[in-house]
Amino acid sequence: MKALFGLLLAVLLGMTGGEALAQIHDLNSAINKAGRQRMLSQRMAKVYFQIGQQVDVERSKKILDASVAAFDRQLVELKNFAPTPEIKENYLKLEKSWLAYKDLLIGAVPSQDNGRKVLEISDQVLGLAHQGTVMLEKQSTSSAGRLVNVAGRQRMLSQRMAKFYQAIAWGVGNDHSAGELDKARKEFVAAHQELSAASANTPQIKESLELVKQQWFFFENALNQKAGPDKRPQTAVATTSERILEEMETVVGLYEKLK
């Protein structure tokens, strides 16, 4: 039963909350999906490192497969939706980086040599995915576009923190990994404060943000544990990073519905 739930969660998190198979129908939806590409770039690296360490292996493999499929599908949707030639060009560049990244992720059994390459290219893919999200946000004429972007970026930061934690634990982190992890933590806290203060928040959004705050407590505790050979700290980061991601997906979906 747990395995089935894990698979369903992995698939659903690779799709739009509540609208799993929906195409992009408006700008807020586009910003959400563009932002989810940022998150997936980091999530795939995270689970690659987990598989390499033999941490939460079965669920990590399912998440990787679902995330690769979601990235592929959303990239097609975003290319088709692109409202300007510049945005279309950005997604064509992202497609090239993505093909190289995907080959590393699924082309062979995870190794530390490839893990170092995954760490590097995951940031390249993130950069282009972020650029696309910002470009789409600039097309928006409402405050909702920014809220979707900021909340969507929280999804990415949750996975980015876990990515660097697992990279360091596996010995594939670089000189910047610890600093980037700390930077992502500070950015997550600051953005949560910004979202909590947003005047557009509905009672449901406020409640969902409070649930994120509760999950952050558990996730931060896991990040504070030093990785060890028994893999329990790594497993704690794996599971808590998924829980906070699930809560943030709900928040982004609620912001997407604002006009």
Tell me the average pLDDT across 223-242: 96
Mean pLDDT of 194-208: 97
Average pLDDT over the chain, rounded to an integer: 92
**Three-state secondary structure readout of 75-92:** HHHHHHHCCCHHHHHHHH
Total of domains in the chain: 1
How many Å apart are CA 121 and CA 134, to the nearest integer?
20
Residue 10 forms part of a structural domain: no
pLDDT for the residue 107: 86
Name the token pair of 105. 């992720």
Kindly report, residue by residue over 88-104, the tens digit of the pLDDT: 999 999 999 999 999 99
Boundaries of domain holding 232: 23-256
Name the amino acid, one letter, at 79. Answer: K
Q: How far apart are CA 62 and CA 239, in angstroms?
A: 14
DSSP alpha helix (H) spans, the chain: 2-13, 27-53, 57-81, 85-106, 112-137, 143-170, 177-196, 203-224, 232-256
**For residue 4, pLDDT beyond 80:** no
Tokens read off for 182: 């700390």
Establish if 122 belongs to a structural domain: yes
The predicted-structure confidence for 49-62, as pLDDT tens digits, reads as follows: 999 999 999 999 99
End-to-end alpha carbon distance in the chain: 39
Residue 12, by phi and psi: left (phi above 0), alpha (psi -120 to 50) or beta? alpha
Residue pLDDT, tens place only, 117-135: 999 999 999 999 999 999 9
Is 204 within the bounds of a domain? Answer: yes
